[in-house]
Amino acid sequence: MADRATLEDLVRLQGERVRALKQQKASAEQIEEEVAKLLKLKAQLGPDEGKQKFVLKTPKGTRDYSPRQMAVREKVFDVIISCFKRHGAEVIDTPVFELKETLTGKYGEDSKLIYDLKDQGGELLSLRYDLTVPFARYLAMNKLTNIKRYHIAKVYRRDNPAMTRGRYREFYQCDFDIAGQFDPMIPDAECLKIMCEILSSLQIGDFLVKVNDRRILDGTFAVCGVPDSKFRTICSSVDKLDKVSWEEVKSEMVGEKGLAPEVADRIGDYVQQHGGVSLVEQLLQDPKLSQNKQALEGLGDLKLLFEYLTLFGIADKISFDLSLARGLDYYTGVIYEAVLLQPPAQALKEKVRTTETQVLVASAQKKLLEERLKLISELWDAGIKAELLYKKNPKLLNQLQYCEEAGIPLVAIIGEQELKDGVIKLRSVASREEVDVRREDLVEEIKRRTSQPLCIC
């Protein structure tokens, strides 16, 4: 039997013969005979096992975002950035990858989730895991001691999406930091105020912000009898209490991390408590915690924090939760995170605008492409967001239907009579009312009619 390469050549030659016969308009019988030979050769060739079928898909733990989803994201980012700027923050950016040694040792048990890149010319590099360590590197490199900054960018985690459903390998983080030497808890209170402002503005439902302090956690571990060497690993176990029961957390501490059962029980007595400033005051009187310097400092600062939160009018949104741990090694003081008090609302099926186009430049008759191009150029130069259909002679009905589908509020219609009269017919898509506007007044009329912010959500 001929080898595969020979068969492929025979199939190619036979295919060319069949095509030639068809071009020559040979008899049907002759063509059928040669086609049968071609099919026989293809059957002998069989499938190429070396060529696997290529499936178009995104890598695990990543996804595409449609124009509709991006429109919503941009609206959310606008709300967040507006709040950051209202509080006087500057914006920075850093490389998507860092020197591996910059990231090494900063994330505790999560260090295994860092994406390492292949060596390119001697530098060992890793994709950024978060935006905090790059920010610290930025401060040190530039010898900055005071800055209030925000940074919104993608970060990367080498999670196994099949094992941890709902986790992404690529996602956005939104960081706001106040770096410098300040009196205690004033910057922390402002950060919590910012968090509440943003969540309220997004209108995603009732929420609660949990707060704790790593000094309180470390002091708690110390008075409960946790060895210093196990503080970080036990901390990562406690951090799972928002997802699993205390029994499961205790089992991990004892079975996997070698903690004595009685020590785990003592930890459980503390970390299952939550409340407001009254709980802070109660723990300040705790016979064990009150004797630990770290815990005492943390509790004192939390009491001061609640005073500032009351002045900011958000104390009712804050809960002191001793189970809040955060596993990363760089947390040393106040820590906090927000949780929704009810399941997330289902996405509305209402239409979302994916563009901000204010007007479509249309024509009522044929052979008016040049006039449309001249008019839309004038509008663009004046700062108007405008579109036109990429056809020489589009039907007016098709142009109007496009506006309705895309949510474009106005149509500037050029017609032969309008050109003679020096006017443009401006049509409201919603009301279908039309008015003639002098060409020199068109820009101002469009701006007047679209002066209200465009809603895209």
Binding residue ranges for L-histidine: 130-132, 157, 173, 177, 326, 330-331
Give the separation between CA 167 and CA 379, rounded to whole angstroms: 45
Give the separation between CA 16 and CA 10, rounded to whole angstroms: 10
For residue 419, what is the DSSP state? H
Query: Across the strands, what pairs with 1?
Result: none
Give the separation between CA 442 and CA 425, rounded to whole angstroms: 9
Give the separation between CA 255 and CA 265, rounded to whole angstroms: 14
Query: Across the strands, what pairs with 206?
Result: none
Secondary structure (3-state) at 119: coil
Give the separation between CA 415 and CA 399, rounded to whole angstroms: 14
Token pair for 10: 């025979």
Give the separation between CA 220 and CA 263, rounded to whole angstroms: 11
Token pair for 247: 């029994």
Full DSSP string of 239-252: GGGGTS-HHHHHHI
What residues form the annotated binding site? 130-132, 157, 173, 177, 326, 330-331
